Amino acid sequence: MSTSKRASVIPYLLAYVALLVLAVVSLAFARAVHRPRWDLVVSLTIAVLQSSIVLWVFMHLAEAGFPIRFGLGVGVSLLLTLLLLTVADVATREVQPMAASPGPSFGFYQR
């Protein structure tokens, strides 16, 4: 006798439909709406939603125990820390003006 649980297909179909809807929204936003300040924010928000759906449903994070979730949290917090430090470095870096290039020198080759 097999006592294995049969997984329901409905959560997978709902997740798949949600991923398709988010992909269409992302494509429509990229094609139709051109808001320079909001393009990156909306695109990253949609990407985070899509990755969360994949993690939660398809990678079975919903059934995972505390160690798995804790490891994921540590990884995400490390990634966010590295991104924050990179943005802080670029934002606080001083741009130096270019030095004037010296004129041509003919002393060595002149006869």
Q: Stretch 91-97: mean pLDDT, rounded?
A: 85
- pLDDT at residue 42 in the model: 87
pLDDT in tens, 44-80: 899 999 999 999 998 888 888 999 989 989 999 999 9
- pLDDT at residue 1 in the model: 46
Does 18 score more than 90 pLDDT?
yes
The answer to whether the pTM exceeds 0.85 is: no
Pairwise pLDDT comparison (89 vs 106), residue with the higher score: 89
Does 93 score more than 90 pLDDT?
no
Spatial separation of the C-alpha atoms in residues 90 and 18, rounded to whole Å: 36
Q: Which residues are CB-contacts of 12 (< 8 A; sequence separation ≥ 6)? A: 57, 58
Spatial separation of the C-alpha atoms in residues 7 and 9, rounded to whole Å: 6
